[in-house]
């Protein structure tokens, strides 16, 4: 057996020639790198002689690396490098700094000995090293001591390396033969095992069993942290910042093509004898791949891949630790490149070693998260994710079980769909290489009390100890179990994000279908049915109902539209799709009810309601009577869970479960009439708020209760329920007409509009439309395509003018265009970047009239810059105006810029000083600016330099009335520059605030000197500064010359209180509050 040790943490020593003793290797206390070479006891020339004598011919076919060695350094070149270093003062200084840093950082107390347990865990070959464990523990206690500072040479720049030590400490018992030192391998070839990790004091050791295959030096792979060289002794760019470029030269030019046929054949022979995994592990992998390779049948096989958008979190409030998803502007949204494989590959590249990577994919119900998750497992089975050896797909509905006798092995092998047989050998292999494991937890929202999965404290956990399923999931999410694996979690995004998901390393959101993707799905659906001749007619039906087209943003609704279109087109009559979602599902279920057993639909609806209250969508076969179950499965109301046992069923879609739950509420006499309004969830409840898990149910309930009985509930329920429904309709009508739409929050207002549209009741619709306020703000409320459509339809029918605030809504460009293009919308606010994008689109399509109308309606008053992006977007807006002014004969100001009167700047102490110069460069464009507020609770700290830049713009700010420079770290220097420029604002400035700065007597004197010239100034605030009684007296004396000034606030702790009271008695305009 021979040891291949890339960059071991100690001196690299050749074995004694002619000795029959076991080869040993000394492990020092340092991690590998060029810093080690500077302070090691080894002679670098001997090290390079050792490396040059290595004969590695014939190693090409072991798949160590396909890249040739391009930057290897030999002994002669290294000698020249040392000469260059001696003659270069800058390089010698760099080495001295590195040596001092090395002496300070790497101390013996920071490194512990090699641990038997850690060593065994990383190598995974207990039987190979059992006889050397005692030697490992002994070697761990013998770390080399660093010399004390006084023992080091006085001139660190010219410190010489010590000669190599002759002592050999026993670490691993190896047979006689040369020690081969190679760089870290990006992927282990067959027959090689790796020792690595914290605590081993070795960056990586590779053990090869058998005769060492030969290969030319060109086959050595490049080390990840030494991109320019494959030599274990060649310095890395990070270690040597001033390393001369000529030193990195090629050491060998042998390529794979120059190998002899005999060498290639021998290498292939050796490679074929080295199995990658044990036979049991290989068999398990094959069975796992066979399980996931099965393609879905029917409509499930139609896949239109949607975009994954990167998401980020922010705190819901300054006092709360809860984090919510940020609603990004359309221009800010970044799609993940490369699809699912690219997402997982990027995640595996950026994670730290032995750290679990948690990836969360969020989205609304019905947007295809589960199909995406199953597609990941299928992609792995087809060989598209080679970075993983094992992929386990676990629907969370299978994990919501009681009991505390489950082990990690049960979670992986027994609890998922289609349990597999995995023995201890397979499980041990997984434990040894958790970084090669991908675990998919689908539909995470079905786990009750998700926040309990991430408690504040959790002790150490063992993979062999039994626990509850919740405890196992907590161990995975807390990175206690299978450390280093990848966790992919899909969940529904609704309201506050679960704490366990808020700790995810990467967050993505499902974007849903665009209008074009929805039409593509329709085409593929009918192509899959073999009815391509119906494609055009089906698309015409969909385009004829704009509301259903907007709802096709959800793949679930798009599939339901296709199913109903298929049924209508098969009848051959003049077909037309319904105008509501309720009508869509009534059309789908109506034919199925005609031959149903008595009360079958009500039974299924009741079960859907009860499961929804418990946040479940799956059911057991025995929960339905046999005849009802057979009918429901045949008609598609329930279906076997994908990959689950035959005894488990589920509703095909979340929206169908919502519809069935609403149907039960509408026809059941068990639901009290007075309880019915709470299920609409339109008004908040202070005590025990209703948990609207079935979030699509309110709209279906309004539609089922209010739509004409003959074409709605009459097609689904028995005639005896008509009286029950009439009574419930009266209760809901009374409740809805008591609501005041203008007082509802934006999200609830949108839900009310949807309910009113589904009801198709003219009186209810008129009440809602008339109650809308003239100004509608949806700031911070996500607007989906259905929301945009229903809002536009409502505004059109209102017959009066509205102003809209569409900031932070994530509205798509087509939705923004449809809303702001309405004649009844006279003013609107939206994200600057999205609005500029809309203008550019209109200009490219030659819609000059609409472009001019949109420009006239757009406003940014008042504007508050809270991020660097806000300042950049404002600058882009100004640049558009400047570009137009230079290209047009008649200069025309953009109304948004021309009418801006109030501008706030609140970026804080970090981004404030960086962004303020950008703001100053565009200030002169705002000719109507009256209020400039540079105060922030977190303090912008623009400083004296910022004040100087701002002062230069005063001559062009003719309308400025209020200037707030509070809490900006302004000293006497800035105060003097400000006072010098203030006369430019003498005719307009009414209020000036310099509260809580660092102005002393010199600054106070300069302000007092200019105060009589400020003829329009009414209020001056200089409280909480640093000037003393002398400065206060100068300000008070100057105040007597300013009859127009109404208030001078100048209390500050550096002025004696008696002096302040005396000054106030002399002039009552002086305020000390």
How many angstroms separate the CA atoms of 596 and 589, rounded?
Answer: 11
Average pLDDT over residues 719-724: 77
pLDDT of residue 274: 37
CA triple 795-801-803, angle to 5 deg = 85
The model's confidence at residue 897, banded by pLDDT at 50, 70 and 90, is: very high
Contact yes or no for 347/359 (Cβ under 8 A): yes
Write out the DSSP string of 773-801. Answer: -SEEE-TT----HHHHHHHHHHHHHH-S-
Question: 226 Cβ partners below 8 Å, 6+ apart?
Answer: 183, 234, 235, 236, 237
Question: 839 Cβ partners below 8 Å, 6+ apart?
Answer: 851, 854, 855, 880
pLDDT of residue 275: 45
pLDDT of residue 571: 83
Which of helix, strand or coil describes residue 375? helix
How many angstroms separate the CA atoms of 439 and 894, rounded?
Answer: 54
Q: If 0-12 CB within 10 Å is exposed, 13-18 middle and 19+ buried, where does residue 956 land?
A: middle
Length of the chain: 1073
Q: What is the CA radius of gyration of the chain?
A: 37
How many angstroms separate the CA atoms of 767 and 746, rounded?
Answer: 17
Dump pLDDT digits (tens) for 769-826.
999 999 999 999 999 999 999 999 999 999 899 999 999 999 999 999 999 999 999 9
Average pLDDT over residues 622-630: 91
Which of 999, 1054, 1043 is closest to 1021 using CA atoms?
999
**pLDDT score of 660 more than 60:** yes
pLDDT of residue 86: 56
CA dihedral 982, 984, 986, 992 (to 10 degrees): -40
pLDDT of residue 510: 86
Dump pLDDT digits (tens) for 680-695.
888 776 555 556 778 8
pLDDT of residue 325: 82
pLDDT of residue 101: 55
Dump pLDDT digits (tens) for 351-406.
677 788 899 998 888 888 888 888 888 889 988 888 899 999 988 877 777 777 88
Q: How many CB atoms lie within 10 A of CB 695?
A: 18
How many angstroms separate the CA atoms of 334 and 328, rounded?
Answer: 10
| Residue 350 or 844, more confident | 844
Which of helix, strand or coil describes residue 1069? coil
How many angstroms separate the CA atoms of 699 and 754, rounded?
Answer: 6
**pLDDT score of 967 more than 50:** yes
pLDDT of residue 57: 36
Which of 809, 812, 806 is closest to 777 using CA atoms?
806
Model's pTM, two decimal places? 0.72
pLDDT of residue 888: 60
Determine phi and psi for 1002, rounding to 5 degrees.
Answer: -65, -45
pLDDT of residue 409: 87
pLDDT of residue 95: 62
The mean-pLDDT minimum among 190-199, 216-225, 309-318 falls in 216-225
**pLDDT score of 944 more than 90:** yes
Contact yes or no for 756/547 (Cβ under 8 A): no
| Residue 1005 or 104, more confident | 1005
How many angstroms separate the CA atoms of 382 and 288, rounded?
Answer: 11
pLDDT of residue 893: 81
**pLDDT score of 756 more than 80:** yes
pLDDT of residue 168: 35
Dump pLDDT digits (tens) for 416-448.
666 777 778 889 999 998 999 999 998 888 776
Q: Give counts: helices (H), strands (E), the chain.
A: 39, 25
**pLDDT score of 239 more than 50:** no
The mean-pLDDT minimum among 32-36, 356-360, 463-467, 540-544 falls in 32-36
How many angstroms separate the CA atoms of 782 and 327, rounded?
Answer: 7
The mean-pLDDT minimum among 208-212, 487-491, 534-538, 1053-1057 falls in 208-212
Average pLDDT over residues 182-193: 43
| Residue 312 or 963, more confident | 963
**pLDDT score of 494 more than 80:** no
Dump pLDDT digits (tens) for 267-296.
333 333 334 678 888 888 988 898 888 777
pLDDT of residue 16: 39
* Mean pLDDT, all residues of the chain: 76
**pLDDT score of 40 more than 60:** no
The model's confidence at residue 465, banded by pLDDT at 50, 70 and 90, is: confident
| Residue 442 or 3, more confident | 442
**pLDDT score of 84 more than 70:** no
Dump pLDDT digits (tens) for 92-120.
666 666 655 555 444 433 333 333 343 34
Dump pLDDT digits (tens) for 162-178.
444 443 333 344 444 44
The residue to which tokens 């504040």 are assigned? 456
């Amino acid at each position: 057996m021979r040891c291949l040790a890339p960059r071991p943490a100690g001196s690299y020593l050749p074995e004694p020639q002619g000795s029959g003793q076991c080869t040993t290797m000394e492990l020092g206390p340092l991690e590998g790198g060029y810093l080690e070479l500077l302070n090691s006891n080894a002679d670098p020339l001997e090290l390079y002689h050792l490396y040059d004598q290595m004969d590695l011919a014939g190693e090409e076919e072991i798949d160590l690396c396909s890249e040739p060695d391009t930057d290897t350094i030999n002994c002669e070149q290294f000698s020249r490098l040392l000469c260059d270093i001696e003659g270069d003062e800058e390089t010698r200084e760099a080495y001295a700094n590195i040596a001092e840093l090395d002496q300070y950082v790497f101390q013996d107390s920071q490194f512990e000995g090699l641990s038997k347990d850690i060593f065994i865990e990383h190598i995974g070959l207990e039987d190979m090293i059992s006889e050397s464990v005692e030697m490992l523990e002994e070697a761990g206690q013998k770390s080399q001591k660093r010399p004390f500072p006084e023992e080091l040479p006085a001139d660190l720049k010219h410190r010489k390396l010590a000669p190599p030590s002759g002592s050999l400490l026993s670490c691993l018992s190896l047979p006689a033969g040369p020690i081969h030192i190679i760089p870290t391998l990006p992927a282990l070839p067959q027959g090689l095992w790796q020792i690595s990790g914290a605590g081993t004091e070795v960056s990586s050791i590779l053990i090869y069993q058998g005769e060492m295959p030969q290969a030319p030096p060109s086959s050595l792979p490049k080390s990840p942290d030494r991109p320019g060289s494959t030599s274990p002794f060649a310095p890395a760019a990070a270690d040597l910042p001033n390393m001369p470029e000529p030193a990195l030269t090629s050491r060998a030019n042998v390529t794979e093509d120059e190998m002899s046929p005999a060498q290639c054949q021998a290498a292939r022979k050796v490679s074929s004898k080295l199995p990658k995994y044990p036979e049991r592990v290989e068999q398990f992998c094959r069975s796992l791949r066979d399980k996931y390779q099965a393609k879905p049948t029917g409509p499930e096989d139609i896949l239109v891949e949607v975009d994954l958008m990167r998401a980020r979190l922010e705190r819901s409030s300054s006092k709360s630790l809860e984090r919510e998803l940020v609603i990004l502007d359309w221009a800010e949204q970044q799609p993940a490149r490369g699809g699912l494989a690219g997402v997982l590959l990027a995640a595996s590249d950026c994670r730290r070693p032995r750290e679990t990577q948690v990836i969360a994919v969020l989205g609304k119900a019905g947007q295809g998260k589960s199909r995406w998750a199953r597609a990941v497992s299928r992609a792995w089975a087809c060989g598209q994710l080679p970075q993983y050896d094992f992929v386990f797909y676990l629907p969370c509905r299978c994990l919501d079980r009681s009991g505390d006798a489950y082990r990690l092995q049960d979670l992986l092998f027994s609890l998922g769909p289609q349990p597999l047989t995995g023995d201890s050998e397979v499980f041990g292999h997984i434990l040894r290489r958790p970084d090669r494991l991908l675990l998919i937890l689908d539909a995470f929202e079905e786990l009750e009390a998700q926040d309990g999965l991430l408690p504040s404290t959790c002790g150490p956990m063992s993979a062999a100890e039994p626990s509850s399923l919740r405890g196992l999931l907590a161990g995975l999410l807390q990175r206690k179990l299978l450390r280093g694996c990848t966790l992919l979690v899909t969940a529904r995004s609704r309201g506050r994000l679960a704490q366990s998901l808020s700790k995810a390393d990467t967050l993505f959101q499902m974007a849903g279908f665009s209008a074009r993707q929805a039409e593509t799905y329709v085409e593929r659906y009918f192509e899959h049915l073999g009815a391509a001749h119906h494609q055009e007619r089906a698309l015409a039906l969909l385009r004829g109902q704009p509301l259903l087209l907007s709802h096709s943003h959800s793949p679930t609704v798009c599939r339901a539209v296709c199913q109903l279109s298929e049924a209508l087109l098969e009848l051959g009559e003049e077909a037309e799709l319904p105008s509501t979602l309720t009508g869509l599902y009534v059309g789908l279920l109506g034919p199925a009810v005609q031959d149903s057993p008595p009360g079958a639909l009500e039974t299924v609806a009741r079960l859907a309601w009860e499961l929804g209250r418990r946040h479940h969508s799956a059911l057991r076969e025995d929960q339905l009577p046999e005849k009802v179950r057979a009918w429901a499965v045949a008609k598609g109301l329930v279906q076997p869970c994908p990959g689950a046992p035959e005894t488990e069923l589920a509703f095909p879609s979340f929206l169908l479960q919502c519809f069935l739950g609403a149907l039960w509420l509408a026809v059941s006499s068990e639901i009290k009439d007075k309880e019915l309004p709470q299920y609409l969830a339109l008004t908040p409840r202070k005590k025990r708020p209703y948990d609207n898990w079935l979030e699509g149910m309110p709209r279906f309930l309004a539609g089922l209760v209010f739509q004409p009985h003959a074409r709605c509930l009459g097609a689904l329920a028995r005639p005896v329920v008509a009286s029950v429904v009439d009574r419930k309709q009266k209760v809901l009508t009374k409740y809805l007409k008591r609501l005041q739409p203008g007082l509802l929050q934006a999200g609830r207002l949108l839900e009310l509009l949807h309910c009113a549209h589904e009801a198709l009741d003219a009186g209810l619709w008129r009440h809602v439309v008339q109650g809308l306020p003239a100004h509608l703000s949806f700031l911070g409320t996500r607007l989906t395509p259905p929301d945009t459509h229903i809002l536009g339809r409502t505004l059109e029918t209102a017959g009066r003018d509205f102003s809209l605030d569409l900031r932070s809504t994530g509205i798509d460009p087509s939705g923004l265009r449809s809303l702001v293009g309405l004649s009844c919308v006279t003013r609107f606010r939206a994200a600057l970047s999205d609005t500029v994008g809309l203008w550019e689109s209109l200009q490219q399509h030659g819609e000059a009239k609409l472009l001019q109308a949109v420009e006239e309606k757009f406003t940014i008053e008042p504007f508050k810059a809270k991020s660097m992006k806000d300042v950049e977007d404002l600058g882009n807006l100004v640049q558009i105006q400047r570009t137009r002014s230079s290209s047009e004969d008649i200069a025309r100001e953009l109304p948004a810029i021309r009418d801006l009167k109030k501008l706030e700047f609140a970026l804080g102490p970090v981004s404030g000083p960086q962004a303020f110069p950008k703001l100053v460069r565009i200030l002169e464009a705002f000719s109507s600016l009256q209020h400039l507020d540079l105060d922030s609770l977190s303090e912008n700290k623009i400083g004296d330099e910022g004040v100087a830049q701002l002062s230069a713009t005063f001559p062009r700010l003719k309308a400025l009335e209020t200037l707030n420079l509070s809490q900006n770290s302004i000293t006497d220097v800035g105060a003097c520059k400000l006072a010098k420029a203030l006369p430019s604002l003498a005719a307009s400035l009414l209020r000036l605030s310099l509260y809580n700065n660092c102005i002393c007597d010199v600054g106070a004197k300069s302000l007092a000197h200019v105060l009589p010239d400020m003829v329009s100034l009414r209020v001056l605030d200089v409280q909480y500064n640093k000037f003393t009684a002398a400065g206060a007296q100068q300000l008070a004396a100057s105040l007597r010359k300013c009859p127009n000034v109404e208030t001078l606030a100048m209390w500050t702790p550096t002025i004696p209180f008696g002096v302040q009271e005396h000054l106030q008695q002399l002039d009552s305009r002086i305020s000390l509050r």
